[in-house]
Structure 1
Amino acid sequence: MISKTFINRPKFAFVISIVITLAGLIAMSVLPVNMYPEITPPQVQISAVYPGASAQIVEESVIRPIEEQINGVEDMMYIESSASNNGSAVITVFFKVGTDGDIAQVNVQNRVALATSSLPSEVTRQGVDVKKKSSAMLLGINLFSEQEGINQLFLSNYATNYLTEPLGRIKGVASAEVMGEMTYSMRAWLNPERMSSLSITVTEVQQALQEQNMIVAAGKLGASPTLPNQQFEYSIQAKGRLQTPEEFGQTIIRAQRNGNFIRLNDIARLELGAEDYSTQARLNGKQTAFLVIYQLPDANATEVASLVKAEMVKLSQRFPDGLEYVIPYDTTKFIDRSIEEVVVTLFQAIVLVILVVFLFLQNWRATIIPTLAIPVSLIGTFAFMVLMGYSINTVTLFGLVLAIGIVVDDAIIVIENVERILKEEQLPIKEAVTKAMDQVSGPIIATTLVLLAVFVPVAFMPGITGELYKQFSVTISFAVLISSLNALTLSPALCTVLLSAEKMKPISWLLPFERLITRATGGYTKTVGFML
């Protein structure tokens, strides 16, 4: 019998329980804290741009060829696609819950590569972006300014250039994106009448800009092989990309035979503006840039939010005059409040269980034994949660709350049987505990198996519902297993150390409660006997 070893060596049982508790405490410090388990299907997003194309053309020339290739990719559930009149195309591929996001991204990337040859050259030149998409929006940060001259275009570009990269490097952040991003762009308002009179087409303008607005390697002067007296080598630095409206205006559209040039400013009005004006962000009716922080699936939401807020404090010290930020959307507030409520419920349940056990056992020493089983079982469960890759969330904490009343049952069975044998047979404490464990070890194991038979099948439920309740059932199952181990090791060891025939006497001021319970039991027995 396994319990006999711990009855004779109670310190061995204490060490096992201490190790389980320490492992759980260490696990608590590394477990991520989230509102719910990760149950959202993995997503891979494909984005492309076809400048100047309508939504219908984007659908026919970009979305359809890509969808034909990615349709049926491994573990795919369904596809969502959208095209807009600004030439952008977005395709989101949803995968089955539990699919590895990195593998899914590689599979989609390979399928998109097959469709590249069918896409317009302008789309492939702009690039087709394939990346994992996180649906876990953690924080929303607004940049705003009361100062004149700082508009949404400036705010959006400042957030893109100076905030997204440092925030995206924070541990646990999946991505930092500016929603409704407005990128600086040189806008050329072409004069159709002027172009018609000079017989210039839009294609000529596009080609001229592509040829002259580029970065080139201009080469070197004096590079080997050279003459013997050549002593210096010079790198030629040519003008790179154009930046100002004046520079763009000097772009040569056509060179005439008489030596004159038709330049871009002859047929167009140039201004520095936004690439797209279709989306705008407002905060209390004022222009703003909205920066969204997405977290990784296995990240600690509260920790990531704290790191992001600390980084924003540092970055704000380098803000231009008049630029401010605010965080109006913060999911961790609700997470913290929900976790706090569940933790309060957890402690309330522990106190109630201890109180009920004390009222019925009516002995402080006897109450200590099932009371110690609660923290060992609950805290030790966190160690197994780390091994399973789970998080501390409302579902797992709800499982622990429900497990509080279960984990003390086995210990109470051991105590009641030891007390009965001490009263009836007047045996020494070690012999009484040994005999008691001979009688209840089998029932304890059987009870544990019955409980596992109830909760374990829940972990095999398919789909999103199964993912939601899997952590609930597995958490309870581990707590029950640890409580069963405690009942076979810690409880008999504590009985040997704490209990004896003299120390098992009930507390005198609880005798009225004992008489009440005895009468109630007698009345219930008579009633059932009469009905039978």
Structure 2
Amino acid sequence: LRKRREITGLFTFYSADYPQYELKIDNDLAMQKGITIGNAMNTLSIMVGSTYELGFIKYQRFFKVYVQAEPSYRRLPEDVLNMWAKNDKGEMVPFSAFMKIVKSQGANEINRYNMYTTASIRGGAATGFSSGEAIKAVQEVAAKTLPRGYDIDWGGLSKDEVGRGNEAVYIFLVVLAFVYLVLAAQYESFLLPLAVIFSLPAGIFGSFLLIKTMGLANDIYAQVGLVMLVGLLGKNAVLIIEFAVQEHEKGMSVRDAAIAGAKARFRPILMTSFAFIAGLVPLVIATGAGAIGNRTIGTAALGGMLFGTVFGVIIVPGLYYVFGSLAEGHKLIQDENEYPISEGVEPRVVLEEMEPYA
């Protein structure tokens, strides 16, 4: 893992060469002596460790009684072999009769995760790489180097990220589809909303470009900035297209309506967009606690807004001209009355004078 550029700050408490003593029990000798392994281990746990037996009150104080061997009898590893255990006949048998001590090396501690023996490794994404790229690098290294029967699992936020996978991509596509349907209902056309949708990639490209230039990661903060960015850029595109649609309904050609919409909305879009960009500057140069999150969300929004505004005022009228020309003469609903009686027409009541009956 240290050879991969996507990961940094790797460390682990796991050590396989920690010096230790291993107790080896000869089961056959233990059975001959009438010793059960459970009884022997319980005795060893009490003598080397301790066990709470009872408590009593004296002088208005509570005293606890622990059973444990004297320190002088458990000072050295070899002292374990000098301890005794009782067999099934009530006789005392030394541990040295069925046990021996061997020096070895192994793990300094044994951790378990979901009942499996584990070794915990911690790390993070290197500068310029996202957490998703770091996770993918770990998975690639594990697939190449781990022997059969070994696997990896995740903890904390990484576990949630791996479990959800590319869920954010699907959510983003659903949002785009929902926006498209709303615009289709507003413009009464399946083609005009595409002018808004296809104007967004310019801003998204600018967002990722500035994030990459600043050496930041595409994390949850950047994705929040993208969601905000899509709404703002879509609003700018809607302003131009809405005005162009109104001018086209008044009799202008699609080309002239696109030019008129771009001219009319050029100054308002630049004023609001650059005011928003100026407000993002403190986030981009933020320092102190939480600076990375502030810089990421600010950079994502600033880069996308800058590119989306500069290129959007040129791209959106062109897209409207393309899709407006395709949509000209086509209606969302066939044989629709453009001027229904309930809109713009006042109801009239006609009174006629009739001759009275004879």
2:190 paired with 1:364: yes
2:85 paired with 1:272: no
Distance 1:271 1:343 in 2: 57
User: Paired residue for 2:202?
Assistant: 376
Aligned mate of 1:415, from 226, 232, 241: 241
User: Paired residue for 1:449?
Assistant: 274
Calculate the aligned-residue CA RMSD, in Å: 3.9
What are the equivalent positions in structure 2 for 1:80-159 lying under 5 Å apart?
Answer: none
User: Paired residue for 1:46?
Assistant: none
TM-score (norm 1): 0.42
Q: Deviations over 1:250-297 (max 9, x none)?
A: xxxxxxxxxxxxxxxxxxxx973459x9x5223279995625252453
User: Paired residue for 1:459?
Assistant: 284
2:3 paired with 1:172: no
1:509 to 1:280, Cα distance in 2 relative to 1, 3 A:
same
2:329 paired with 1:329: no
Tell me, yes or no, if the aligned pair for 2:233 and 2:305 is still in contact at 8 Å.
Answer: yes
1:510 to 1:380, Cα distance in 2 relative to 1, 3 A:
farther
What are the equivalent positions in structure 2 for 1:295-306 lying under 5 Å apart?
Answer: 295-298=124-127, 299-306=129-136
1:179 to 1:361, Cα distance in 2 relative to 1, 3 A:
same
Distance 1:454 1:518 in 2: 43
**CA displacement at 1:173 relative to structure 2:** 3.7
TM-score (norm 2): 0.59
Tell me, yes or no, if the aligned pair for 1:184 and 1:272 is still in contact at 8 Å.
Answer: no
1:347 to 1:309, Cα distance in 2 relative to 1, 3 A:
closer
Amino acid across the alignment from 2:226: L
User: Paired residue for 2:211?
Assistant: 385
Tell me, yes or no, if the aligned pair for 2:203 and 2:307 is still in contact at 8 Å.
Answer: yes
Highest CA radius of gyration, 1 or 2? 2
User: Paired residue for 2:174?
Assistant: 348
% same residue: 15
1:413 to 1:306, Cα distance in 2 relative to 1, 3 A:
closer
Distance 2:112 2:6 in 1: 27
2:229 paired with 1:403: yes
1:434 to 1:464, Cα distance in 2 relative to 1, 3 A:
same
Tell me, yes or no, if the aligned pair for 1:343 and 1:397 is still in contact at 8 Å.
Answer: no
Amino acid across the alignment from 2:193: T
Tell me, yes or no, if the aligned pair for 1:377 and 1:479 is still in contact at 8 Å.
Answer: yes
Tell me, yes or no, if the aligned pair for 1:452 and 1:477 is still in contact at 8 Å.
Answer: yes
Distance 1:434 1:175 in 2: 55
User: Paired residue for 1:135?
Assistant: none
1:334 to 1:513, Cα distance in 2 relative to 1, 3 A:
farther
1:493 to 1:281, Cα distance in 2 relative to 1, 3 A:
same
**CA displacement at 1:445 relative to structure 2:** 0.8
Amino acid across the alignment from 1:349: V
**What stretches of structure 2 of length at least 5 have no aligned partner?**
22-100, 345-358
Distance 1:176 1:502 in 2: 57
Tell me, yes or no, if the aligned pair for 1:411 and 1:491 is still in contact at 8 Å.
Answer: yes
Q: Deviations over 1:75-121 (max 9, x none)?
A: xxxxxxxxxxxxxxxxxxxxxxxxxxxxxxxxxxxxxxxxxxxxxxx
1:305 to 1:437, Cα distance in 2 relative to 1, 3 A:
closer
Matched pairs, number: 263
**CA displacement at 1:360 relative to structure 2:** 0.9
2:326 paired with 1:497: no
Distance 2:117 2:289 in 1: 37
2:298 paired with 1:473: yes
Q: Deviations over 1:400-427 (max 9, x none)?
A: 1222222112222222222232333x34
User: Paired residue for 2:333?
Assistant: 508
